[in-house]
Amino acid sequence: MSDPHPTPEFPEKDYIRPNHDWACGRTCQGGSCSVGPSPRGKCRATYECAPRLETKPGESKGHWMCTRAKSAGGTCDKGPFPDGTCCNAVPKCQPRLTLRGIRKRVTLVTILASLIALYIGIGGSRRDDFINPGPISSVHASDHFTKRHAAMSGDQSSCAACHASAGKDGGQWHVQAVEAFKQGLAPHDWTRKGPLEASPMDQSCLACHQGMDFHQANMPSQFACHACHKEHVTDGAMPEVDSGLCISCHGDATLMAKAREQAKGAHSTPAEDSGSVAPPRQRPATGYTEVINSFHTDHPEFRQLRDLEPGQVRDTNPLKFNHAYHLKDGGLPFPPPSTEQLDCRHCHERDARGEYQRPITYSQHCATCHPLKFDPGTSDETHLGLLLPHGDPYYVRAFVRSLPIQYAEYARTQEGITQAEALKKYVDSKVANLEGSYQQSGEFLERAVFFADHESKLPDGRQTPFNGCATCHEVTDPKDTNGTPGIAKPATPERWMTLGSFNHDLHSKGFKCADCHNVTVSEKTSDLNLPSIKRCVDCHSPKGGIDHRCTSCHTYHHAKGSLFGDPVKAAPAK
């Protein structure tokens, strides 16, 4: 079906294109010429048309015809002059810049001004101030850091400590700019998920932070230090790592799958070096690759509890201890004349920072209630008398075998007996009374000292008048005839949760120890008595309102490095 209204012909030659830099000066009056200005802004107006010579059959000269377009008014009445010149001359105008032309000039001027400013700023004496994008954290702005960097590289510019190009001549910056686009500044990297990958600048960080390689050995790739540690934000302490950066990796199932695959040839599951006497733990064969989105939703149970199998002895400390007995009915009473009741604080003392508990020692925490008395004849309710030494089985055996000497020294220092005859009489009396109370030889006394248990019995069933080393320690028979019984050395862990930090002082406000540690029913040394992660989530979650960021508990570098230690002879990355 034909269109009854055909599309009119488009006047292409009369169309003023918007991509021109110049427009006719009479455009705003609605009378722009069809010729328009030149690309350089010169008016090209001459006549309204270019007359055409028509010659009819039989004519020799012909006549000129007007060619003015219909859009401009059509053929004029006067027509061309006899010499073929249009009778309607177009007056000249002053072409003006279009918006496109103005924008182009502004852009060129801006670029030129920027290049000049960069050249002056980069090449000037205050280049560091000019290129600084923001304040430097207090550590990196310190005089100590500047001096350290100068000692390492000989460069006084503190910027060059991290940015290798900062120490180069301004003429080399275009080369550095090209390299920067290959190391994390390329446009396709701006939309990539996860932190930026490692760059040569990270070598500058490691010059001071030795051994602080990023994270674990099974990571598919190493990430840039500045991806998590944000500089040029504040002149105080560097901002803490945002949990979102941790989740960008640990919450990515694809990345964690790659980490598990990487771990197949990366780990031999060595024991964790915790720096404490806690039993060593084996690293998971696939590394720590569980997908975690937040502490309060899908964080796995603490490994010390998660790895606990039914019936498995988790705390391998050979020392014998019963928490429930010591804390029954609010705690055992101290020996007279004290009236205090024993509780957790009497044995567990925090370090100076209030974070962790100090090690338990016999002399400070046990001796008050458990003095090593072996001779009832030199002790009573108010006087401890002669006591066995504690700590070294060789010293204990030597003490028992030299009792006459020990009694003589005790008589001089405690009883005030100094005359030789009186000393001999005192010693003979004490030795005779001791043998009489045991009704056994000195050899039996020595065995009783080592092997008597908490019921004052020897392994063969014989009764003794006191508790021996076996009350608290694992004691084994000597390996040879004249050997000393073996006593298993206590291994009381200073820390169990070695992969996370903790502060007891902060948690003691409003809480009791038993609120988290279920020690009131713990009767075995093997009981771990650590709180479950569910107990922690009660507070450390959006519902509980307490900080639950990843960095609240975790650090993330797999090796400890020196921070501003002795300078290493290494220049920043080139």
Give 3-state DSSP helix, strand, coil % of the chain, rounded to 5.
35, 5, 60
* More confident of the two residues 384 and 522: 522
Whole-Å CA distances, 222 to 113, 194, 196, 215, 550: 39, 12, 9, 8, 19
Q: Give bridge partners of residue 22 from the DSSP assignment.
A: 97
pLDDT tens digits, one per residue of 404-416: 999 999 999 888 9
* More confident of the two residues 14 and 457: 457
pLDDT tens digits, one per residue of 459-472: 988 888 888 999 99
Q: What pLDDT score does 477 carry? A: 93
Q: What pLDDT score does 274 carry? A: 45
Residue whose C-alpha is closest to residue 390's, from 358, 414, 362, 365: 362
| Mean pLDDT to the nearest integer, 200-205 | 80
* pLDDT of 114 over the 70 cut: yes
pLDDT tens digits, one per residue of 283-293: 777 777 889 99
Percent with pLDDT over 90 in the chain? 19
Q: Which of 67-76, 207-216, 469-478, 529-538 has the lowest mean pLDDT?
A: 207-216
Please say whether the beta carbons of 133 and 162 come within 8 A. no
* pLDDT of 398 over the 90 cut: yes
Whole-Å CA distances, 321 to 64, 313, 342, 517, 527: 126, 14, 15, 16, 10
Render 394-463 in DSSP notation, one character per residue. Answer: HHHHHHHHTHHHHHHHHIIIII---SHHHHHHHHHHHHHHHHHHHTS-HHHHHHHHHH--TTSB-TTS-B
Is beta strand 52-54 parallel, antiparallel or unpaired with respect to 475-476? unpaired
pLDDT tens digits, one per residue of 531-561: 999 999 999 999 999 999 998 888 777 654 4
Q: Considering the entire predicted model, what is its pTM?
A: 0.65
Percent with pLDDT over 70 in the chain? 81
